[in-house]
């Protein structure tokens, strides 16, 4: 049980470095996810536009090099983030009871971040493997996959989870590093709400476009 | 007719071998401008003299009456019953050692924290009691005073999910305390010295930005801003330590 303790004094110059890397890996992934979502949604304008973008990214090697690079950042981010996740049951029980007791949105948001993280770890790995091992990227191939049914459900789960995790992460970086001050916190939170909602809606529209696209 | 308030109060006396932790219900008629401090005193006076809870100043100054009020850590003397629903659940603050019922020992925790963060002005200057006090810029004095306003109630640490999960996490009150000396021009400690104290995962890098500390602090200390300030400051110090040998 908790009694009085306040251990300090273990100097950790690497703890600081890891905090930087966690933030920077998270931030690169935010930019990646948002760019990815916007580029992907080009299919809504027309599949030809999307094919052209895909072709451009592949002919310049950005997919072949960038893809595995993103995967590496993704894995590093997981390892860095995992330092904060309570993997033991007593820790999970504590934070769960604490969140229930406190009814405090930011504390709940952290739990959402942790749970979404574990699901994203599995689903995003699968998604990256499937996408990168079956180049070139074309709207027709993606549409065929999604019209198969399983992939539609897969993305219906992954899209909201990723945008939640990324949005909360964006908010968290802002407040943790003091880029957002207390007087702007509520406003910043609203902005993040709008961004997340917009990306989830965009993702669903994109998904619907694939689903109802005529293949061949 | 005024409201009848229903109190669910945590009861446990660790000094009594037969005592078991449980919740006990008390009913009390609400009076004008009633605070939880008044309510608890009336319950103790009229219904159960064995009820343990702490108070001293009854004006939000001493910080003794921190407890969990309907889930949120706060000061009993600072909380009006009219702002609460008719059913009020009171628990002792987690994290600290339980003395009995609603009373916890925040004193030892803060004492130890002050020792470990070396919470005093470090200077090589010898103090001359006859000299006129050195002047300080007014803005600077106000900024320091703002952080000095902490009443050591312990609510911020009890509300912190990180502190609950990780016993070695130092908590917002301590980080605020370090920030207070960091901005004090009289303290000669360098950034590297502060890094020794809080530049690790038990200190500022352990904070996950849940901001419950900011949201519960009954004295509205600018904890969020201090945590951001320290993270940037210590983050930069860590890079300097790594790259400048
Ligand atoms: C492999 C699965 C993932 C895991 C296990 C994971 C884990 C975590 C954890 C535990 C945190 C909170 C750390 C803290 O509060 O100190 C976090 C923050 C964050 N995550 Fe993830 N995450 C994953 C995937 C992703 C992905 C795919 C993205 C973006 C595309 C992302 C973006 C972020 C951002 C921006 C933050 C905030 C960074 C910070 O607080 O310093 N994460 N992640
Ligand atoms: S912001 Fe940091 S210190 Fe405050 S409650 Fe959250 S984790 Fe704890
Ligand atoms: S910072 Fe606020 S909540 Fe924390 S101990 Fe001081 S007064 Fe209490
Ligand atoms: S009794 Fe002093 S702060 Fe409540």
Q: Please indicate whether, in this complex, the C-beta atoms of A101 and B71 are within 8 angstroms of each other.
A: yes
Decide which of B41, B72, B103 is a domain's last residue: B103
Kindly state the tokens that stand for B236.
């930069």
Percent of chain A residues past pLDDT 70, beyond the cut: 93
Residues B125 and B97 grouped into a single domain:
no
Residue B90 forms part of a structural domain: yes
Q: Please indicate whether, in this complex, the C-beta atoms of B224 and A91 are within 8 angstroms of each other.
A: no
d(CA A194, CA A200): 10
Kindly state the tokens that stand for B179.
């920030």
pTM recorded for the entire structure: 0.84
Q: Please indicate whether, in this complex, the C-beta atoms of B202 and A7 are within 8 angstroms of each other.
A: yes
d(CA B106, CA A4): 8
Which ipTM did the prediction report?
0.81
Percent of chain B residues past pLDDT 90, beyond the cut: 66
Q: Which residues of B touch A15 (CB under 8 A)?
A: 199-201, 205, 238
Mean pLDDT of B56-78: 93
d(CA B161, CA B12): 24
- What pLDDT shows up at residue A9? 47
Q: Which residues of B touch A112 (CB under 8 A)?
A: none
Q: How confident is the model at residue B88 (pLDDT cuts 50, 70, 90)?
A: very high
What top-level class would CATH report for the domain A10-212? mainly alpha
DSSP state, residue B81: G
Using a CB–CB cutoff of 8 Å, tell me whether B74 touches chain A.
no
Q: Is B158 in the pocket of ligand 3 (CB under 6 A)?
A: no
Using a CB–CB cutoff of 8 Å, tell me whether A17 touches chain B.
yes
Q: State the residue range of the domain holding B64.
A: 4-103
Mean pLDDT of A189-199: 92
Asked whether the predicted pLDDT for residue B45 surpasses 80, the reply is yes
Asked whether the predicted pLDDT for residue B94 surpasses 60, the reply is yes
Residues B144 and B35 grouped into a single domain:
no
Q: Which of residues 78-97 of B touch A (CB under 8 A)?
A: 91, 94-97
Decide which of B103, B136, B171 is a domain's last residue: B103
Q: Is B58 in the pocket of ligand 4 (CB under 6 A)?
A: yes
- What pLDDT shows up at residue A11? 59
The residues spanned by each domain of chain A are 10-212
- What pLDDT shows up at residue B89? 93
How many residues does the structure list for chain A?
216
Concatenate the DSSP letters of all residues of B176-236 into one string: HHHHHHHT-TT----HHHHHHHHSSTTTGGG-----HHHHH-TT---HHHHHHHHHHHHHH
Q: Which residues of A touch B108 (CB under 8 A)?
A: 4
Asked whether the predicted pLDDT for residue B138 surpasses 80, the reply is yes
Nearest to B209 among A13, A103, A176 (CB): A176
Residue A85 CA to ligand 2 center (angstroms) comes to 15
Q: Is B114 in the pocket of ligand 4 (CB under 6 A)?
A: no
Closest CA to A7 of B124, B154, B112, B82: B112
Kindly state the tokens that stand for A74.
């993704």
Percent of chain A residues past pLDDT 90, beyond the cut: 26
Among chain A residues, the shortest Cα distance to B228 is held by: A178
Per 3-state DSSP, what percentage of chain B is helix, strand, and coil (rounded to 5)?
Answer: 40, 15, 45
Q: Give chain A's largest Cα–Cα span.
A: 69
- Give the model confidence (pLDDT) of A120-175 as tens digits: 999 888 888 887 777 777 777 777 787 877 888 888 899 999 999 999 999 999 99
Chains A, B: CB pairs < 8 Å = 157
CB A101 within 8 A of CB A57: no
Which has the higher per-residue pLDDT, A56 or B158?
B158
Q: Which residues of A touch B71 (CB under 8 A)?
A: 101-103
Residue A84 CA to ligand 3 center (angstroms) comes to 24
- Domain count for chain B, please give it: 2
- Name the average pLDDT for chain B: 91
- What pLDDT shows up at residue A57? 81
Beta-carbon-side half-sphere exposure of residue A10 (alpha carbons within 13 Å): 14
- Give the model confidence (pLDDT) of B103-134 as tens digits: 999 999 999 889 888 999 998 988 889 999 88
d(CA B28, CA B41): 11
Identify which of A16, A69, A169 to mutate to test ligand 1's pocket (most ligand atoms within 8 A of the CB).
A169
Q: How confident is the model at residue B41 (pLDDT cuts 50, 70, 90)?
A: very high
Asked whether the predicted pLDDT for residue A211 surpasses 80, the reply is no
Asked whether the predicted pLDDT for residue B102 surpasses 50, the reply is yes
Beta-carbon-side half-sphere exposure of residue A137 (alpha carbons within 13 Å): 28
d(CA B48, CA B225): 43
Strands B4-11 and B87-91, sheet pairing: parallel
Q: How confident is the model at residue A6 (pLDDT cuts 50, 70, 90)?
A: very low
- Give the model confidence (pLDDT) of A165-186 as tens digits: 999 999 999 999 989 888 888 8
- What pLDDT shows up at residue A95? 84
Residue B111 forms part of a structural domain: no
Mean pLDDT of B202-220: 91
Ligand that comes closest to the CA of residue B180: 3
Residue B109 forms part of a structural domain: no
- What pLDDT shows up at residue A3? 38
- What pLDDT shows up at residue B197? 86
- Give the model confidence (pLDDT) of B158-167 as tens digits: 999 898 888 8
Residues B179 and B226 grouped into a single domain:
yes
Q: How far apart are the first and last CA of chain A?
A: 65
Asked whether the predicted pLDDT for residue A4 surpasses 50, the reply is no
Residue B30 forms part of a structural domain: yes
């Amino acid at each position: 049980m908790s009694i009085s303790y306040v251990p300090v004094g273990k100097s950790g110059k690497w703890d600081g470095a890891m905090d930087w890397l966690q933030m920077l890996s998270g931030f690169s992934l935010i930019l990646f996810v948002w760019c990815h979502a916007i580029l992907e949604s080009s299919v809504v304008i027309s599949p030809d536009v999307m094919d052209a973008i895909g072709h451009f990214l592949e002919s310049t090697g950005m997919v072949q090099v960038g893809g595995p690079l993103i995967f590496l950042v993704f894995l590093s981010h997981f390892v860095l983030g995992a330092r904060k996740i309570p993997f033991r049951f007593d820790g999970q029980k504590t934070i769960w009871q604490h969140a229930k007791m406190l009814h405090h949105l930011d504390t709940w948001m952290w739990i959402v971040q942790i749970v979404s993280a574990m699901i994203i770890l599995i689903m995003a790995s699968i998604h990256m493997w499937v996408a990168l091992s079956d180049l070139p990227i074309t709207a027709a191939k993606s549409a065929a996959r999604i019209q198969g049914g399983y992939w539609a459900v897969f993305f219906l789960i992954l899209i909201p989870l990723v945008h939640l995790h990324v949005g909360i992460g964006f908010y968290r970086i802002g407040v943790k590093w003091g880029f957002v001050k207390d007087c702007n916190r509520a406003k910043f939170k609203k902005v993040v709400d709008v961004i997340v909602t917009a990306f989830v809606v965009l993702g669903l529209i994109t998904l619907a476009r694939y689903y109802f696209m005529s293949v061949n | 007719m005024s409201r009848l308030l229903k109190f669910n109060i945590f009861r446990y006396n660790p000094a009594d071998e037969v005592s078991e932790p449980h919740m006990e219900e008390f009913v009390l008629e609400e009076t004008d401008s009633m605070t939880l401090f008044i309510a608890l005193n009336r319950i103790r006076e009229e219904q159960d003299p064995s009820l343990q809870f702490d108070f001293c100043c009854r004006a939000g100054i001493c910080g003794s009456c921190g407890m969990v009020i309907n889930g949120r850590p706060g000061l009993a003397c600072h909380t009006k019953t009219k702002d609460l629903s008719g059913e009020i659940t009171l628990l002792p603050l987690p994290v600290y050692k339980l003395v009995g019922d609603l009373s916890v020992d925040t004193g030892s925790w803060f004492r130890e924290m002050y020792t470990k963060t070396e919470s005093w002005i470090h200077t090589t200057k010898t103090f001359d009691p006859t000299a006129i006090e050195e002047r300080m810029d007014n803005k600077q004095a106000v900024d320091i005073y703002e952080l000095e306003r902490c009443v050591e109630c312990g609510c911020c640490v009890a509300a912190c999910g990180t502190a609950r999960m990780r016993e070695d996490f130092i908590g917002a009150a301590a980080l605020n305390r370090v920030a207070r000396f960091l901005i004090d021009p009289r303290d000669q400690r360098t950034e590297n010295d502060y890094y020794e104290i809080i530049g690790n995962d038990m200190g500022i890098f352990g904070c996950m930005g849940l901001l419950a500390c900011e949201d519960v602090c009954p004295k509205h200390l600018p904890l969020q801003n201090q945590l951001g300030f320290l993270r940037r400051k210590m983050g930069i110090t860590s890079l300097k330590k790594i790259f400048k040998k």
